[in-house]
Structure 1
Amino acid sequence: MTQTNAITAYYDGQCPICKREMAHYVRQAPDLIQLQDCTGDLPADVDRDKALASLHVRLPDGRLVDGVAAFIAIWERMPLRRWRWLARLTRPAPIRIPLNQLYLWLAPLRPRRTCQDGVCER
């Protein structure tokens, strides 16, 4: 894989689970996955509330994907084969769509630290 295949993940840096998981992905593929905490500065086309509600990823072609599609984009770039298998397994719509609904239902239940500056208040 090349740098042209790199993505940016917009994740909730106030969520300890999210932070740990995203750090794991970056350790595995540091040249292919960049992180941007969505409680900080964001590009104009990334809505903070939506980015806090679910993981968003900017693909190499500039498109934004979210939810399970964002995880699939990350897993496709992981060097270990098991992650790429997971991406292939979850990509078909009959699997991806229900998983995405489950993810969107569970995401608001994740733990979050309280923001100090009020930037990420909901």
Structure 2
Amino acid sequence: MSVPDDLTVYYDGACPLCRTEIGHYRGCAGAERVRFVDLATVRDDASLGPGLDRAAAQARFHVREADGRLVSGAAAFAHLWRRLPAWRWLGRLVEVRIFGFRPVLLLAEAAYRLFLPLRPHLARGLSRGGVLRNSA
């Protein structure tokens, strides 16, 4: 009997950095309940579901909850981490509310936005150095 997916993760399989990170998450306990969609294999935007196209999905990390809700950026990572027992503590930490707002999420999102323009350069450098694996 298969376990239903309760989260869909969209990732750029053409990016060695993304591929390596997702490869780690796929090997974690709890990953059997997560559907991983490699954008490099998606043929049409319609298959990504409402509110998401390939360009947006490649520009920023996205997940879709089982109820169809789309989440991106640092919040998307927190949703993924909450599904994986070894990472659950970090997902909960990022989503802690203090006086009605989430200060850790705000900081994580700011860090994520700073990281995004560096991602292609970092991926190239790590690939050249042999740090990142070449296969999915």
| TM-score normalised according to structure 2 size | 0.71
Unaligned runs of 5+ in 1: 114-122
* Number of aligned positions between the proteins: 110
Who is 1:34 aligned against?
35
Which ranges of 4 or more aligned residues in structure 1 deviate by more than 6 Å?
none
User: What RMSD in Å do the two structures reach over aligned CA positions?
Assistant: 2.1
Could you tell me how far apart the structure 2 residues matched to 1:84 and 1:5 are? 17
Residue 106 of structure 1 deviates from its aligned partner by 0.9
Q: 1:107 aligns with which of 107, 116, 120?
A: 116
Structure 1 vs Structure 2: percent identity of aligned residues? 40
Unaligned runs of 5+ in 2: 97-101, 125-136
- Seen in structure 2, the aligned counterparts of structure 1 residues 90 and 30 have a Cα distance that, compared at 3 Å, is closer
For the 8 Å contact 2:5–2:32, the answer to whether it is kept is no
Q: Deviations over 1:16-38 (max 9, x none)?
A: 11111111111113321221122
Residue 87 of structure 1 deviates from its aligned partner by 0.9
Residue 105 of structure 1 deviates from its aligned partner by 2.1
| TM-score normalised according to structure 1 size | 0.78
Larger helix share, 1 or 2: 2
Secondary structure in 2 matching 1:31 = helix
Who is 1:10 aligned against?
10
- Seen in structure 2, the aligned counterparts of structure 1 residues 5 and 38 have a Cα distance that, compared at 3 Å, is closer
Q: Deviations over 1:8-53 (max 9, x none)?
A: 1001112111111111111113321221122332424222221111
For the pair 1:57 / 2:58, whether they are aligned, the reply is no
Could you tell me how far apart the structure 1 residues matched to 2:91 and 2:49 are? 29
Aligned letter for 1:89?
A: L
